Amino acid sequence: MNLCRVSALVTIFLANSMIAQIDVKFEQYKLENGLNVIFHEDHSVPVTAVTVMYHVGSKNEKLKRTGFAHLFEHMMFKGSEHVADGEHFKLLQEVGANINGFTTEDGTTYFEVVPSNQLELALYLESDRMGFLLSALTQSKLDNQRDVVKNERRQRVDNVPYGTADEKIAKALYPPTHPYSWPVIGYMEDLSAASLDDVKDFFRTYYAPNNACLVLSGNFQPDEARPLVEKYFGEIPRGKDIERPPRAGAKLMETKRMVFEDKVQLPRLYLTWPTVPNYTRMGAVLEVLAHILTRGKTSRLYKALVYDKQIAQSVFASEDGFEIAGDFQIQATAKPDKGLAQIENVIDSILNDINKHGVTQDEIAKAITAEEVRVINSAATELGKAISLASYYSYTGDPQNYNHQLDLYEGISQDEILSVVRKFLAGPKIVLSVVPVGRQDLASQKGE
Amino acid sequence: MIIMVGFALLAGTVFAGDQLDRTKRPQGKPAPEIHLPQIQKATLKNGLQVWLVENHKLPIVAANLVIQAGSDHDPVSMPGLANMTAAMIDEGTKSRTTMQIADQLEALGATLNANANADGSFISLSTLSKNLGRALDIYCDVVCNSIFPEKEFERLRKQRLTTLVQQHDQPPAIASNAFNYILYGPDHPYGNNQNGTETSLNAMTVGDLRTFYQSNYVPNNATLVVVGDAKLDEITALLEKGLADWHSSAITPFVVPQPPPPSARKVYLIDKPGAPQSEVRIGYPALARSTPDFFPVIVMNRMLGGQFTSRINLNLRERHGYTYGATSSFRFLKGVGPFIAGGGIVTEKTDSALIEFLHEIDLMRAKGMTAEELAYAKTGTIGNFALTFETPEQVAGALQNIVLYGLPEDYYSTYLQKIDAVTLGEIQRVASKYLDTSTMSVVVVGDLSKIKDRIAALNLGEIVLCNLDGKKLR
């Protein structure tokens, strides 16, 4: 351990193993109404990040109301009882804050990064929309944000090459009642159907302090912040307990092949296997496998497809774990006029080779080193630390797991890599070929 | 029932005493002290300037070699040369193959990236500080011993040609590339795709790359910016060793050519059948980074289209729901960079959105802004300055800014004063000078079967139909 590198705020230490872990210090407590509060002090920058994470995402949506959690997120920026429409952004941009929110399958996060003298403004605004949103809702605000969100869908999905591939895969991977079978952004017709009553119900059910985590990270004094948090959030009543969807992985009985013609010039192949939820050992092993397959020039698939054979423009693999299920995906974009069957054959032969001969200890070590660097970099900003602490609280129950996340990677063995390849990647999968219009011949349509 | 009422009253009384008056807005405390990065400097024996800002918060060191030649130096006949040279820099040295370079860096968890933009070429390294010596050894080898192997070049050439194909699938990329071409033309370096063209990539040879490298990648034409967990003497000792064989040589003086003179507004339409959105770009060549009007211009633009609560975004997104986001910006480059207003607009409202964009720009030009808006834009800019130096990347970016544009040493220490000094009169003057929509080009990429007639009916100027690269269709 190198003491020169240690600061009081973010310590990097070596555990018994050689894996370097971060040590982001924090204190945590709960208000009487159930709001979970986390403080992390860092006086090296004149900045404080304030995040409020609600443990609700598209997973909590109902059928025919997809996209609702995210549409709701937009409504949270349209004012509350004491904050007029437009004022939320106006007040924060007046002090130079960076502001935004984001919705995932499992959670919705709002944040303000403020010059640290403006902490109270952020607490005031976050608490007003947590406690006093309903009286400010109007049909015209909803209509306006519905239009904005539809534009967001056009911008991020419909006007993007391959933009709808993910939702086609999810739909094939999960049964129609599984909440991961639909996209976070939602379908256009469901966005049209969302009513003001839906917004109110959703708020009453999920936007309660007992379903939220407030994090302050940066240049502030906890002794000053504690009374402020109580002052602004303490009077908000606790809501009902939230029913959480149970873990439910996808189960494929057989491989499904799909071909989709899109306005693209390069064919792209997506292979997707159902796997495991996030924050699991198995998920970590699969992430290491993703590194070995496609991260960096020497990775197995990159070297074979992009470097040696030059039949692919790019290839990328990842383990995408969520709260109640996860999947492993490899996607490869072909060079012009190259068929996807050829690419799938190369992927198959490399996976078979791993299945037969395994991977090397060096490959595992490189992957874990890359994870170490990723974790250290995640602590580079106050916002990054705040979001991580809130996520680990919401999804694992203990923010300390942020500091210990590399425990999941400790001692990953060659045998474990082999076992996930055999357990998951040898099983049924979704094969999606996206091909240029009229070029079904480029799809991978081999029989199993 | 009585009990219930009593309880309610009691609850009411309890709250009345404590209840927060939420109509009162919290007042900010005095602004925090901002610690500007302290730059330590050294000059290597070969003439390379090394700038270091120590930051020991994380065990990471980030280095960036800033070379004063970017795609602005691309010969008119060979767009993409600067970019390709940068992309090839880690594809082989006198002693390491491309795979050895990658393998050795991956083993350390270090990343090396090289790229070029209009103003410069950049080779960056990020490494754990415990691996600094070994990572710098590879980095220095790449910087001064790159050999541009033919085999790797052929691979990258194909990759770039395919990138051009991919860009034609992406409406925002089509719009931005076509916009540059329309504004600057094929004879100006800002007019061409920085990735090159099919013709230029096919004509390019490793000889061209080696010439570009030898004439521009020299110590006296570069500055190495380092931020992170390192000490100056430690860094310079490693660099003296690693870069011993790298030598200064004469640099040909270079000035970015002037853009074509302004002409009457035209509307350039590019067809993307079936597109649910139209990508809009409105603007013209406007200003170089060296303009004395920099500060009034950025304050003015913050209000026009530079933030969420800007006039353009509030109008097009929040008032009309035409878009997910609309912006305006001045791209400050070494030469005269463009003013750009634009965004992705729902197809059915493309014509209405054009009217609103032009209206907001014209209004700013005609009337400037109010005293309240000026105060608002200033406090926002000033407050945001505190957020500028949080991460090593941000600090490195600030240093790169100083190096690339030759900004004065006190640029950041006088920044707040200069923002604060901007007057309404200056806002009015720069708005009037730099926001003339009568000579701006309007570029729209969208489904012309749905939008063309309605745009033509606006009578904004001659309609010019273009291909995906912005070239006029015959």
Tokens representing residue A246 in the block: 């149970």
Q: What are phi and psi of A122, to 5 degrees?
A: -65, -40
Among candidate residues B112, B13, B134, the one with its CA nearest the CA of residue B64:
B112
Chosen for mutation from A164, A230, A298 (greatest number of chain B CBs closer than 10 Å) is A298
Task: Name the pTM for this structure.
Answer: 0.94
* Banded pLDDT at A21 (limits 50, 70, 90): confident
Is pLDDT at B287 greater than 70 in this prediction?
yes
**Which pLDDT tens digit goes with each residue over A134-175?**
999 999 999 999 999 999 999 999 999 999 999 999 999 999
Task: Please give the Cα distance from A369 to A409 (Å, whole number).
Answer: 10
Q: How near does any CA of chain A get to the CA of B248, in Å?
A: 32
Which residues of chain B lie closer than 8 angstroms to A376, CB-CB? 58-60, 128
B255-278 residue pLDDT tens: 999 999 989 999 999 999 999 999
| Parallel/antiparallel/unpaired status of strands B111-116 and B277-287 | unpaired
Q: Which residue of B has its CA nearest to A379?
A: B58
Q: Which helix (H) or strand (E) holds A24?
A: strand A20-24
Sign of the Cα torsion B360, B363, B365, B371 reads: negative
Helices (H), B58-129: 81-88, 98-108
- For the residues B325-342, what does the mean pLDDT come to? 98
pLDDT, tens only, A343-387: 999 999 999 999 999 999 999 999 999 999 999 999 999 999 999
Residues of chain B contacting A145 with CB distance shorter than 8 Å: 321
Contact call for residues B269 and B83 (beta carbons, < 8 A):
no
**Local structure of residue B125 (DSSP, 8 states):** E
Q: Report residue B409's pLDDT band, with 50, 70 and 90 as the boundaries.
A: confident
Considering only alpha carbons, which residue of chain A is nearest residue B390? Answer: A45
Contacts of A160 in chain B (CB under 8 A): 170
Cβ atoms B298, B330 nearer than 8 A: yes
Mean pLDDT of chain A: 94
| Helical pair A87-94 and A119-131, crossing angle rounded to 10 deg | 170
How many Å apart are CA B247 and CA B245, to the nearest integer?
A: 6
Residue A161 has what pLDDT?
94
Across the range A435-444, mean pLDDT stands at 96
B67: β partners = B121, B222
Beta carbons of B278 and B352 less than 8 angstroms apart: no
Mean pLDDT of B455-465: 98
| Per-residue model confidence (pLDDT) at position B388 | 92
Distance between CA atoms of A138 and A134, rounded to whole angstroms? 9
Cα separation, B316 vs B343, in Å, equals 9
ipTM score over 0.90, yes or no: yes
Find the closest chain B residue to A384 by CA distance: B391
- B388 contacts chain A (CB < 8 A): no
Contact A48, A119 (CB under 8 A): yes
So what's the pLDDT on residue B19? 77
Average model confidence (pLDDT) across chain B: 94
Rg, chain A, Cα only: 23
Q: Is the pLDDT of residue A19 over 90?
A: no
**Helix, strand, coil % over all residues of chain B, rounded to 5:** 45, 20, 35
CB atoms within 10 A of CB B372: 8
Q: What is the CA radius of gyration of chain B?
A: 26
Q: What share of chain A is helix, strand, coil (3-state, %, to 5)?
A: 45, 20, 35
High-pLDDT (> 90) share of chain A, %? 94
List, for residues B90-110, the tens digit of each pLDDT value: 999 999 999 999 999 999 999
Mean pLDDT calculated for residue range A414-442: 97
Inspect the interface and report whether the beta carbons of A382 and B390 lie closer than 8 Å.
yes
Phi-psi region of B185 (alpha: psi -120 to 50; beta: other; left: phi over 0): left
Beta partners for residue B462, in sequence order: B266
Q: CB within 8 A of B222, min separation 6: which ones?
A: B48, B49, B65, B66, B67, B68
Helices B371-385, B424-434: inter-axial angle, 10-degree rounding: 90
Show residues of chain A in contact with B162, CB under 8 Å. Answer: 266, 313, 335-336
Q: Do A265 and B165 touch (CB under 8 A)?
A: yes
- DSSP one-letter code for B33: P
- Residue B137 to residues B26, B67, B442: CA-CA distances in angstroms? 53, 19, 49
Q: Which of A86, A115, A366 sits opposite B31 (nearest CB)?
A: A115
Evaluate if residue A105 carries a pLDDT over 70.
Answer: yes
Asked whether A252 and A417 are in contact (CB, 8 A), the reply is: no
Is residue B220 within 8 Å of B43, Cβ to Cβ?
no
Q: By CB neighbour count within 10 A (0-12 exposed, 13-18 middle, 19+ buried), where does B439 fall?
A: middle
3-state secondary structure of B324: strand
Section B121-139 average pLDDT: 97
Q: What percent of chain B shows pLDDT beyond 90?
A: 93
pLDDT cut 70: percent of chain A above it = 96
**Is residue A68's pLDDT more than 50?**
yes
Q: Shortest CA distance to B49 belongs to which of B226, B216, B213?
A: B226
Interchain contact, A380 vs B58, CB within 8 Å: yes
State the burial class of residue B346 (Cβ atoms within 10 Å of its Cβ: 0-12, 13-18, 19+): buried
Instruction: Determine the pLDDT at residue B393.
Output: 87
Evaluate whether A298 touches A365 at the Cβ level (below 8 Å).
no
Q: Which residue has the higher pLDDT, A11 or B413?
A: B413
CB-CB contact of B116 with B70 (8 Å): yes
Decide if pLDDT at A4 tops 50: no
Instruction: Convert the pLDDT of each residue in A227-284 to its tens digit.
Output: 999 999 999 999 999 989 999 999 999 999 999 999 999 999 999 999 999 999 999 9
Choose among B195, B136, B199: nearest CA to B164.
Answer: B195
Q: How confident is the model at residue A18 (pLDDT cuts 50, 70, 90)?
A: low
Confidence check: pLDDT of B232 > 50: yes
**Which residues lie closer than 8 Å to A192 by C-beta, 6 or more apart?**
A146
Q: Are the beta carbons of A418 and A288 closer than 8 angstroms?
A: no
Q: What per-residue confidence (pLDDT) applies to A251?
A: 92
Phi, psi dihedrals of residue A20, rounded to the nearest 5° = -80, 130
Reading the block at residue A186, the tokens are 């939602």
| pLDDT tens per residue across span B1-26 | 233 333 333 333 334 345 799 999 99
Label residue B290 exposed, middle or buried (CB < 10 Å: 0-12, 13-18, 19+): middle
| C-alpha separations of B164 from A308, B13, B27, B81, B82 in Å | 21, 70, 52, 15, 16
Which pLDDT score is estimated for A12? 52
Least confident of A29-33, A409-413, B7-11, B50-54: B7-11
**For range B361-376, the mean pLDDT:** 97
Which DSSP helix (H) or strand (E) runs through A70? helix A68-75
For A230, the closest chain B residue by CA position comes to: B20
Distances (CA, A) of B325 to A343, B145, B271, B280: 38, 45, 22, 12
Distance CA A379, CA B131 (A): 19
